[in-house]
Amino acid sequence: MQNEPRAAFTAMENATLDDWRIIAAAHGPYQNNLANRVLAHLRLLEGDHGGFPIDRFQHSLQTATRAMRDGRDEDYVVCALLHDIGDTLASANHPDIAAAILKPYVSEDLHWMVENHGIFQGYYFFEHLGLDKNMREAFRGHPSFTMTAEFCERYDQTAFAPAYDTLPLTAFEPLVQRVFSTIRRSIYMNAAPAKT
Ligand SMILES: [Fe+2]
Ligand SMILES: [Fe+2]
């Protein structure tokens, strides 16, 4: 906003505590709006089917719907919803984007599942592209191997059905808001302007 207070420094090394109080005060509302920014970005997948039977937005919703109907908890369902959000900006490594966005807000095993789902999903199609469908075997024995294999088997590789009764984004918005409301892991999570 135009009239909001601004810090006065031109180089960070000259910033004062008052400057950082202004920045810290602005950060709260910005952080609180993160879920809305994530949801807006997810909608960018709409209309982008890339040759698949349904577009990437519907695939995301269907993956989350299947996970929810299977009784998965909120964090898991949000991971399912966002697992392909990186397709727009990281076509060659899309799982890294979702993993980075979710990392401060979910458990380490859910983060690992999202980060590696691309390799595990390959079990269902890599042979058609001249790749090794068993690439996931490199991770056999990892504590999150089974849950990641299960995510792809039950929800991700099955979520391409045009006739499936997929829930709309509004069904997941409260879950996304809740998951993104609590930071669990971040170098900034204990940050506060110094006392004078
Ligand atoms: Fe994916
Ligand atoms: Fe997917």
Q: Which ligand is nearest to the CA of 117?
A: 1
End-to-end CA distance of the chain: 28
> pTM (2 decimals)?
0.95
Strand segments, DSSP code E, in 74-133 are none
Mean pLDDT of the chain: 96
Ion ligand 1: residues, CB within 5 A, are 84
116-142 pLDDT, tens digit per residue, is: 999 999 999 999 999 999 999 999 999
Mean pLDDT of 30-57: 96
pLDDT for res 194: 82
CA 133 to ligand 1 centroid distance, Å: 15
Buried/exposed 18-50: b ≥16 CB within 10 Å, e otherwise: ebbbbeeeeeeeeeeebbeebbebbeebeeeee
Q: Which ligand is nearest to the CA of 80?
A: 2
CA 63 to ligand 1 centroid distance, Å: 10
Q: Which ligand is nearest to the CA of 62?
A: 2
Q: Which ligand is nearest to the CA of 63?
A: 2
4-14 pLDDT, tens digit per residue, is: 899 999 999 99
pLDDT for res 196: 67
79-108 pLDDT, tens digit per residue, is: 999 999 999 999 999 999 999 999 999 999
Q: Which of the four pLDDT bands, split at 50, 70 and 90, describes residue 190?
A: confident
